[in-house]
Amino acid sequence: MTLTINGEDRDLPNITTLADLVSHLGMKPDRVAIELNRELVRRERWPETKLSSGDKLEIVHFVGGGS
């Protein structure tokens, strides 16, 4: 399946849901926000949100720090 993630096309095998994608990418779910085809998807919906080839995703990874 080919997905566009943050403007970059990526071929990803065996990815069916947003939860699968986050796991595959090694991201911590509590530090990520995902927009799928221009719609923000709530974290609790990731396991049921199916992906299709050609989907466009924007993934923001939050980083703590500062003072």
Averaged pLDDT, groups of 10, the chain, 67 residues long: 96 94 94 97 97 97 73
Instruction: Please report where in the chains the tokens 């980083």 appear, as a residue.
Output: 63
What end-to-end distance do the CA atoms of the chain give, in Å? 42
pLDDT (0 to 100) of residue 5: 97
* Sheet containing 32-36, strands listed edge to edge, beginning at the edge strand earlier in sequence: 8-11, 2-5, 56-61, 32-36, 39-41
Q: What is the pTM of this model?
A: 0.87
pLDDT (0 to 100) of residue 30: 92
Taking a C-beta distance cutoff of 8 angstroms, is the pair 34, 4 a contact? no
pLDDT (0 to 100) of residue 49: 98
Instruction: Please report where in the chains the tokens 């709530």 appear, as a residue.
Output: 42
What are 5's two structure tokens?
């993630």
CATH 3.10.20.30 fits 2-61, yes or no: yes
